[in-house]
Amino acid sequence: MSSRQSLFATVVIGAVFAAAAAAQERPLSLAVLKSGLDFASAEVRALQADEFANPGMLWVERGERLWSEAAGSAARSCASCHQDARVTMKGVAARYPQFDAKAGRLLNLEGQINQCRTERQGAEPLRYESDELLALTAYVAHQSRGMPIAVSIDGPARAHFEAGERLYRTRHGQMNLACTHCHDANWGRKLAAETISQGHGNAYPTYRLEWQSIGSLHRRFRACLSGIRAEMLPYGAPEYLDLELYLAWRASGLAIETPGVRR
Amino acid sequence: MNSRLQVPTTAKRGEPVEIRIAIQHPMETGFRYDAVGHAIPKNVINTLVCRYNGVEVLRAELGSGIAANPYLSFYVVAGDSGELDFRWIDDEGNRGEAHAAISVTA
Amino acid sequence: MKRRRFIAQAAGMLALPIATAARAQATLESRLPAVRELTAGAPIRVGRVTLDLPLLSDNGNSVSLHLAVASPMTESDYVRSLHLYAERNPRPNIANFFFSPQSGRAEIASRIRLAGSQRVLAVARMSDGSFWGATADVVVTVSACMDES
């Protein structure tokens, strides 16, 4: 190859890479994106659709009450700063996880709620899977129901996004499987009697019949990890946060359904 | 106990109306084990009673065969305007209650 | 795909005498001691009761159920009580519901637990002391993955 041809080749290859980095190809295009609900039985779909019978609503309503309860040394409630959640929290869940510049870290909804509790209310942070945190998270996310996920992976979020993607594609556990093997390569196919979903988190916190309770996305990650016989990281692990961001980006455009109902 | 009630705000006298209740409760079967291998004791809501203006209109005897976070839908004939009163108790003796007003037109 | 099974003969009430006689002889059998205790050996006639359950359930922890009994629900003719049984559950008597003429309808919806695929039985005790019932078979599948979250 002449030096001119190799220079041209380098420029072309460089341009292709630059384009790829700027507009990253989603594994699932918007046209193909399907909520977990599409893989659920008619019974589960009906339960989610029924505003009253949806068991997750028990926590959403609890969250509504907690929203106005004063807490901590500052004796402030969420409402003290945020007034009516139906107005102020609209669209918020759709943007999480997001990088918090002041805190210098990636925050999911649970993390944001706890940041408010510790720094603005002077209260103890709420434990993952505690009734209160589930209720508040479900209540806030519920205010974005029907709205498309729209997270940012720019700036400081970028490193977290890339870490999340690496995790998503890394094999784990005795079964040596990565998330992508089921949720990109085999969604829609059967695993025993179940139909594999695309693995989106748009309905979380969600009421899982398996749990007989509402639960967080981190709980679902742990369930998947135990399913492939891998070590379950603790709730709130930074790896889970990175993964959440990647998943949210991967599901961009999919509507939030909280509280979801799943098997 | 956390619960939700759905009662129509208005009803026509003589027509049956649907009442729905959902209660947050694990309905612990007694067949589950904790992480250390100890059986988690049974604790279910065993009785639920609905009174309409003081008169019992439904009594439900529930067992561990009712799913967690029990949900129940049933009917009541709209009579006088007044109150629907729910009371329930679980095996441990924890009591719960819920009330809703019902307005009946002629 | 039909998801719901109706094993009721609501139209049975309008049937010709011959058909009625034949249908009235159709009874439900159950070996459950709890059912025998309820009926004291009296026959459980097939009919009037509609037991609505999915053919296939994703998870035995929660199976949606709907139960209704055709009855005028008047002072002289109403459903006294409804009894639900899951023959293979460790405690087969799932629930009992007690009504009055003020109930308007003997109709219940709830969510039950099923310990595996089995037959569910609903028995209604009428104000005249008679028993009517219906059954439904449900296939309960289990999770593909172990969830130790």
Count of C-beta atoms within a 10 Å radius of residue B81: 14
Domain locations along chain A:
30-262
Which of B51, B66, B73, B80 best tests the C interface by mutation, with the highest count of C CBs <10 A? B66
Report d(CA A108, CA A216) in Å as an integer.
11
Q: Kindly tell me if the per-residue pLDDT of C8 is higher than 60.
A: no
In a domain, C149, yes or no: no
Q: Where are the alpha helices (DSSP H) in C8-145?
A: 17-24, 33-39
Q: Quick check: C132 and C69 in contact, CB under 8 A?
A: yes
Q: Which of B20, B27, B69 sits opposite A58 (nearest CB)?
A: B69
User: C13 pLDDT exceeds 50?
Assistant: no
Q: Are A41 and C144 a contacting pair at CB < 8 A?
A: no
Q: Select from A52, A53, A62 the Cβ nearest to the Cβ of B2.
A: A62
Chain A touched by C63 (CB under 8 Å): yes
The CA-CA-CA angle for residues A93, A132, A112, to 5°, reads 35
Q: Please report which confidence band the pLDDT of residue C5 belongs to, taking 50, 70 and 90 as the band edges.
A: low
Distance from C-alpha of A125 to C-alpha of A132, rounded to nearest angstrom: 10
Q: How many CB atoms sit inside 10 A of residue C45's CB?
A: 21
- Classified as helix, coil or strand, A59 is helix
pLDDT for A24 equals 73
Number of separate domains in chain B? 1
Residue A6 confidence (pLDDT): 61
Average pLDDT, chain A: 93
Per-residue pLDDT at A35 exceeds 50: yes
Identity of residue A175: M
**What is the phi/psi pair of residue B49, to 5°?**
-125, 135
| Closest to A134 (Cα-Cα) out of B64, B2, B98, B70 | B2
CA distance B31 to chain A (A): 14
pLDDT tens for each residue of A127-150: 999 999 999 999 999 999 999 999
Name the residue range of residue B10's domain.
3-105
**Per CATH, which fold does A30-262 belong to?**
Cytochrome Bc1 Complex; Chain D, domain 2 (1.10.760)
Active site residue A224: yes
pLDDT value at C146 more than 90: no
Query: Which 3 state secondary structure label does DSSP give C132?
Result: strand
Could you say which residues from 244 to 263 on chain A have a Cβ atom under 8 Å away from some Cβ of chain C? 263
* A69 contacts A77 by C-beta, under 8 angstroms: yes
Per-residue pLDDT at C12: 42
pLDDT band (50, 70, 90) for residue B37: very high
Q: How confident is the model at residue A2, as a pLDDT?
A: 60
Give tens-digit pLDDT for B86-98: 999 999 999 999 9
pLDDT tens per residue, range A46-57:
999 999 999 999
Lowest mean pLDDT among A18-22, B88-92, C43-47, C86-90: A18-22
Measured CA to CA, the distance from residue C22 to residue C16 in angstroms comes to 10
Cβ C92 vs Cβ B53: under 8 Å: no
Instruction: Name the average pLDDT for chain B.
Output: 96
Q: Residue A212: its pLDDT value, please?
A: 97
Q: In a 3-state reduction of DSSP, which class is residue B106?
A: coil
Peptide bond into B41 cis (omega under 30): no
C83 domain residue, yes or no: yes
Q: Cβ of A182 under 8 Å from any chain C Cβ? A: no
Band the pLDDT of A4: cuts 50, 70, 90: low
Residue of A nearest to C65 (CA): A43
| Dihedral sign computed on CA atoms, order C87, C91, C94, C97 | positive
pLDDT tier for residue C142 given thresholds of 50, 70 and 90: confident
Give the closest-approach CA distance of C2 to chain B in angstroms. 23
Enumerate the residues of chain B whose CB falls inside 8 A of the CB of residue C89: 65
- B28 → chain A, closest CA residue: A212
Given the structure tokens 């016989």, which residue do they identify? A229
CATH code for the domain in which residue B23 is found: 2.60.40.10
Where does the pLDDT of residue A23 fall: very low under 50, low under 70, confident under 90, or very high at 90 and above? low
Contacts of A57 in chain B (CB under 8 A): 4, 22
**Per residue in C31-59, pLDDT tens?**
999 999 999 999 999 999 999 999 999 89
A161 pLDDT band, cuts 50/70/90, is very high
Range of the domain at C58: 27-140
The most confident of the ranges A14-23, A209-218, C3-12 is A209-218
Does C13 fall in a domain? no
Confirm or reject contact between A50 and chain C (CB < 8 A): no
Closest-approach residue (CA) in chain C for A196: C144
Tell me the β-bridge partners of B100: B84
Subunits close to C (at least 3 CB pairs below 8 A): A, B
Domain count, chain C: 1
pLDDT for the residue C144: 83
Q: To the nearest whole angstrom, how far is the Cα of B6 from the nearest Cα of chain A?
A: 8
Residue C112, domain CATH: 2.60.40.2470
CA distance C91 to chain B (A): 7
Q: What whole-number percentage of chain A has pLDDT above 70?
A: 91
pTM of the model: 0.90
